[in-house]
Amino acid sequence: MTFACASLRTEVAAPSYPRRSEEDKMGLLSILRKLKSAPDQEVRILLLGLDNAGKTTLLKQLASEDISHITPTQGFNIKSVQSQGFKLNVWDIGGQRKIRPYWRNYFENTDVLIYVIDSADRKRFEETGQELAELLDEEKLSGVPVLVFANKQDLLTAAPASEIAEGLNLHTIRDRVWQIQSCSALTGEGVQDGMNWVCKNVHAKKK
């Protein structure tokens, strides 16, 4: 059975930033610059999570795009940034239940898995935990570094990252490096910290 989906491929040109401190530089270009010691390196990042977890908002935040109007991803979004010999491809796959079986079509050659959780949707913690556990058992994702974004921390009802980590039994992961990062895709808080971790561990994985 083939998966027909409405796909959107966006090639994002490298933006030119005014002179600012490294801390102020947002977006994928600043992350790519940290990989200078590995020229012409292509990095494939898989962005997964349940529907409404905030994956597309996060992706747009990373690419410094407008996040005022977000629609549910029915197929997949790809953001590719090219600059100074680097290419970072981020694949955002829809998280609706009917789409999840097709996630496995995108596992090949993944360098980092980013898993996004709606920290305020406590009723779905069990469901999101089960999906993550199944991903970690996938042979094609064996050993792939995992970053869990505990998203929507801007909401008062959001569970802290430490509580989510305990509920998901992340401390039992022994076959790969992992990190959980509190963030708000809406405000951008915590996103850069998570991507810095991604850069560091992609670098280590590819050595």
Q: What is the residue type of 162?
A: S
201 labelled ligand-binding: no
179 labelled ligand-binding: no
50 labelled ligand-binding: yes
152 labelled ligand-binding: yes
53 labelled ligand-binding: yes
CA distance 41 to 111: 11
CA distance 127 to 144: 22
Three-point CA angle 102, 92, 116, nearest 5°: 100
Catalytic residue among 96, 130, 181, 192: 96
Residue 78 main-chain phi, psi, to 5 deg: -130, 130
133 labelled ligand-binding: no
Q: Is 96 marked active-site? A: yes
49 labelled ligand-binding: yes
- Binding site listing for Mg(2+): 56, 73
Catalytic annotation, residues: 96
- Binding site listing: 49-56, 73, 95, 151-154
- Binding site listing for GTP: 49-56, 95, 151-154
